């Protein structure tokens, strides 16, 4: 409105409202929108919410049951009108990114909306320390910041997981019989964020802890469901010196740390892994491709040559840019500093090496050219990587 668009140019339809039940029929939805968009010289902005509630109806002009009419047909038709700008939201059970690419044949784009970042919620609190404490516990789901009590926030996140994410995955992939397995797997991953794992390891864990035999192929398939639903992200291992990727093991991170904590009933709130997960999400939101780095080197002890493997939490790339990043809760002793920077010191290229710590510190470089910054400052300043 502030840019000069008239109210009549904005058509908003929420299919979960009882007054709009009629528009769940694709034909009625199409008629309604065309009736509202009669002026060819005007640009119209159409917003349709909860599109998954739209019905599939029989095509009255075809005898084939395989040629039913859905909301996809409506949208494809409307998209041919150059003066219409259409935005659709819906459940993951009906609309995932590959559905958009497939069903709309390059004529539709996915707008991926992340949970709120730390920088977006920080000003809601008295100071950034309180903001970070809250963020590491409850994450960035927007509605959280309208709730007052810890009990309300906890219940909301648990219900969101159960009533939205889990239900969508089960409905979409038709896995009612394996619901318990799906939920146990999610618990396993929740308790192991930032740790290397693979389907074979998880299969063994099912056998040892639950006394249930689940194939690694099934686990791999279920993990892909979590990624498709934007619950989890995965990061592959990258051999920094050998310039090659490993398909397994890999690390998983939650798209929202509050959802992860709620999944574990707020029991395992380990700052080390939570901070690492938050940094991962921030780097992703800034457009970086993220890998887990592996640095391998040889050394001799008592005349015997041995190999050592060290890990870099994140190797991030965007265009010609590359950074190596370690997430460290603290480096309050020389021994801890040596431990956290060991992998970075073994990398002999010229790309920037960074250690992000929990405490607020003045950004500084050490004698090895490694930059140290505080996590809150990093999250609040998107130019810190260029220091």
Same domain membership, residue 77 and residue 186: no
Neighbouring C-beta atoms of residue 180, cutoff 10 Å: 10
Same domain membership, residue 225 and residue 142: yes
pLDDT at 96: 59
Q: pLDDT class for 105, splitting at 50, 70, 90?
A: low
Same domain membership, residue 125 and residue 203: yes
pLDDT at 346: 95
Same domain membership, residue 168 and residue 69: no
Q: Is the pLDDT of residue 382 over 90?
A: no
Same domain membership, residue 90 and residue 225: no
Query: What are 141's two structure tokens?
Result: 């789901």
pLDDT at 259: 97
Q: Is the pLDDT of residue 150 over 90?
A: yes
Range of the domain at 201: 118-232+253-266
What proportions of the chain, in percent to the nearest 5, are helix, strand and coil? 45, 20, 35
Q: Is the pLDDT of residue 1 over 60?
A: no
Same domain membership, residue 69 and residue 148: no
Average pLDDT over residues 250-255: 97
Same domain membership, residue 160 and residue 21: no
pLDDT at 269: 85
pLDDT at 97: 55
Average pLDDT over residues 198-210: 95
Asked if residue 330 lies in contact with residue 355, where contact means CB atoms within 8 angstroms, the answer is no
Same domain membership, residue 132 and residue 87: no
Q: pLDDT class for 101, splitting at 50, 70, 90?
A: low
Name residues whose C-beta falls within 8 Å of residue 322's C-beta, 6 or more positions apart in sequence: 315, 316, 351
Same domain membership, residue 177 and residue 66: no
SS3 label, residue 338: helix
Mean pLDDT for the chain?
91
pLDDT at 22: 96
SS3 label, residue 188: helix
Residue 122 to residues 28, 119, 351, Cα–Cα distance (Å)? 44, 5, 31
In a domain, 283, yes or no: no
pLDDT at 95: 61
Same domain membership, residue 81 and residue 151: no
In a domain, 262, yes or no: yes
| Residue that is last in its domain, among 266, 291, 317 | 266
Alpha-carbon gap, residue 312 to 346, rounded angstroms: 10
In a domain, 82, yes or no: yes
Alpha-carbon gap, residue 49 to 11, rounded angstroms: 11
The number of distinct structural domains making up the chain is 2
In a domain, 314, yes or no: no
Same domain membership, residue 123 and residue 87: no
Most confident residue range from 115-124, 241-250, 328-337: 115-124
Same domain membership, residue 214 and residue 130: yes
Average pLDDT over residues 37-59: 92
Neighbouring C-beta atoms of residue 120, cutoff 10 Å: 14
pLDDT at 217: 96
Alpha-carbon gap, residue 144 to 21, rounded angstroms: 29
- pTM > 0.85: yes
pLDDT at 182: 93
pLDDT at 370: 96
In a domain, 354, yes or no: no
| Residue that is last in its domain, among 59, 76, 103 | 103
What's the N-to-C CA distance of the chain in angstroms?
Answer: 39
Q: Is the pLDDT of residue 162 over 80?
A: yes
Burial 16-38 (b: 16+ CB within 10 A, else e): eeeebeebbbbebbbebbeeebe
In a domain, 292, yes or no: no
Q: Is the pLDDT of residue 121 over 70?
A: yes
User: Cis peptide before 249, with omega less than 30 degrees from 0?
Assistant: yes
| Residue that is last in its domain, among 103, 127, 146 | 103
In a domain, 83, yes or no: yes
């Amino acid at each position: 409105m502030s840019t000069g668009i008239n109210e009549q140019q904005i058509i908003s339809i929420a299919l979960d409202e009882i007054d709009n039940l009629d528009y769940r029929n694709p034909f009625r939805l199409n008629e309604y929108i065309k009736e509202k968009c009669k002026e060819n010289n005007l640009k119209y902005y159409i917003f349709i919410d909860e599109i998954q509630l739209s019905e599939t109806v029989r095509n009255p002009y075809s005898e084939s049951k395989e040629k039913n009419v859905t909301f996809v047909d409506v949208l494809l038709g409307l998209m041919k009108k150059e003066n219409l700008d259409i935005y659709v939201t819906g459940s993951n059970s009906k609309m995932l990114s590959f559905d958009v690419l497939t069903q709309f044949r390059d004529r539709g784009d996915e707008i991926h909306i992340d949970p709120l970042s730390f920088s977006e919620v920080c000003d809601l609190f008295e100071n950034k320390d309180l903001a970070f404490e809250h963020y590491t516990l409850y994450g960035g789901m927007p509605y959280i910041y309208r709730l007052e009590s810890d009990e309300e926030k906890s219940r909301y996140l648990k219900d969101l997981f159960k009533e939205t994410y889990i239900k969508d995955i089960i409905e979409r992939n038709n896995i009612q019989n394996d619901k318990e397995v799906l939920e146990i797997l999610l618990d396993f991953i929740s308790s192991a964020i930032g740790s290397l794992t693979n389907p074979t390891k998880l299969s063994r864990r099912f056998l040892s802890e639950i006394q249930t035999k689940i194939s690694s192929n099934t686990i791999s398939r279920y993990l892909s469901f979590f990624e498709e639903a934007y619950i989890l992200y995965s990061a592959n291992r990258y051999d920094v010196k050998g310039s090659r990727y490993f398909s397994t093991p890999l690390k998983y991170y939650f798209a929202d740390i509050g959802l992860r904590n709620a999944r574990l009933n707020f029991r395992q709130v380990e700052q080390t892994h939570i901070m690492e997960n938050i940094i991962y999400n921030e780097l992703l939101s800034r457009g970086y491709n993220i890998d887990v780095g592996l640095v391998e080197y040889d050394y001799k002890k008592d005349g015997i040559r041995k190999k050592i493997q060290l890990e870099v939490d994140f190797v991030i790339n965007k265009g010609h840019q590359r950074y190596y990043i370690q997430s460290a809760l603290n480096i309050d002793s020389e021994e801890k500093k040596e431990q956290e920077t060991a992998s970075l010191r073994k990398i002999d290229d010229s790309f920037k090496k960074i250690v992000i710590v929990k405490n607020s510190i003045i950004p500084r470089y050490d004698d090895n050219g490694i930059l140290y910054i505080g996590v809150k400052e990093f999250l609040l300043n998107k130019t810190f990587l260029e220091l």
